[in-house]
Amino acid sequence: MSDVAANREGDTPENEESQLNAKRAKCDVTDGQGDHGEGEPACKRNILSGFVTSQILNDSAREKKIFVHGKLDNQEAVVIMEKTPIREENLAEIFSGSRLELDMRNDIYSTYRLQAPAHLSEIKTTVVCPATENHVKKYRRQETFLVEEREDDYGSITLPYVEKLCLGVQWVYNILEKKAESERVVYEDQDPEVGFILLPDFKWDQKQTDDLYLIAIVNKRNIKSLRDLTSEHLPLLQNIFQKGQEVILERYKLPASKLRVYLHYQPSYYHLHVHFTRLSYDAPGCGVERAHLLADVIQNLQFKCDYYRSATLYFPLSAEHGLLNKFKEAGRL
């Protein structure tokens, strides 16, 4: 499991509400659209000026991310900060317009602290406010366990847990109904049976294809996850696989051989969706313990019509995940 997860696709199911809050806050902080009081657009206001830090929940030097818990306007909040990638088109300006301070020189090697021009020193910031204890748990670094889920486990443990949570996916329906994020849609197939909407995941800033990440959200609303798929869904899956790759080739010039197309299990939200990432990008959640290649899914369903309803599946859960406790109570862990 990745050390950090700060977006819709890396979230745990019981915190689906936090995904929407984070998404909204992210739009407010980074997009600068709309008016947020005092007659000033969000892009001009520093809503974090009054943020008071309580604790560092998680940080990753490798991924240049930090997760901070604190208070904002006397409300609990979580702030996720991430250094933005260095892009090739900015290199000349970075080399010519930055200030260097020498740290060390030894023979042919030297290291410096480079202070780039302010407009090239952005930090992508997501705000979850008001944040609940569940949000804090989600972003805190936790030990992870690999769960074995048999067919009967799904029916007796997982499905009742999911249904009891009454997970809302209204934000997904808002996308499908063009009530939100319509300007971000890359492609849409309106067919009610095999159609889907393709749009960028929030992990991708769309400024380079090195970390390309798109999500295909299916139009059908009665497929929660991989477990629901049967051979009757093959036309839907094949349509997503084919058209998604075609659109990415046409728009981003990336052939199918450079793409990773997969589903998560457990998913971060229970409305079927498919991930498209660049193969060279080490996307969060793309490890073998959670990701199932769409090509393999299609092949397995061609081999056995109810393959995923009867298969034993494995997936990672964090130590404080509610579903993990259910498996422990059932003596399955």
- Section 164-180 average pLDDT: 84
More reliable by pLDDT, 296 or 29: 296
239-293 residue pLDDT tens: 999 999 999 999 999 999 999 999 999 998 899 999 999 999 988 889 999 999 9
Residue 301 has what pLDDT?
98
CA pair distance 273, 101, nearest whole angstrom? 47
Q: Assign domain 142-329 to its CATH superfamily.
A: HIT-like (3.30.428.10)
Is the pLDDT at 142 greater than 60? The verdict is: yes
Give the type of residue at 45: R
Report whether 195 contacts 294 (CB < 8 A). no
pLDDT at 318: 86
pLDDT at residue 320, as a whole number: 79
Q: Does domain 1-84+123-140 have CATH number 3.30.200?
A: yes
Q: What is the mean pLDDT of the chain?
A: 85
Contact 274, 294 (CB under 8 A): yes
* Residue range 155-170, pLDDT digits in tens: 999 999 988 765 678 8
In the 8-state DSSP scheme, what is residue 86? P
Top pLDDT among 211 and 8 is at 211
Backbone angles phi and psi of 134, in degrees to 5: -65, -40
| Overall average pLDDT of the 28-46 stretch | 48
**pLDDT per residue as tens digits for the range 63-79:** 788 999 999 988 999 99
Residue whose entry in the numeric block shows the structure tokens 């899914």: 297
pLDDT in tens, 312-332: 999 999 887 889 999 999 999
Q: Looking at this protein, which amino acid is placed at residue 46?
A: N
Gap between the Cα atoms of 99 and 116, Å rounded: 7
Buried b (16+ CB within 10 A) or exposed e, 281-291: bebbbbeeebb
Residue 298 has pLDDT above 90, yes or no: yes
Residues of the chain with CATH 3.30.200: 1-84+123-140
Distance of CA 230 to the CA centre of its chain: 26
| pLDDT tens digits, 85-118 | 888 889 999 999 999 999 888 888 899 989 999 8
What pLDDT score does 61 carry?
Answer: 78
CB 297 within 8 Å of CB 275: no
Could you give the percent of the chain with pLDDT greater than 70? 86
Length of the chain: 333
Q: Please state the pTM of the whole predicted model.
A: 0.71
Pairwise CA distance, residues 85 & 36, whole Å: 28
Give the separation between CA 297 and CA 304, rounded to whole angstroms: 10
Active site residues: 273
Q: DSSP letters of 32-85?
A: --SB-STT-BTTT--TTTT-EEEEEEEEETTTTEEEEEEEETTEEEEEEEEEPP
Query: Residue 17: which pLDDT band, with cuts at 50, 70 and 90?
Result: very low
Cα separations in angstroms, 189 against 154, 186, 216, 218 = 31, 11, 10, 9
Separation of CA 104 from chain center: 39
Residues of the chain with CATH 3.30.428.10: 142-329
Residue 167 has a pLDDT of 61
CB 162 within 8 A of CB 207: no
Whether pLDDT at 34 is above 50: no
pLDDT computed for residue 166 by the predictor:
54
In contact, 235 and 193? CB cutoff 8 Å: yes
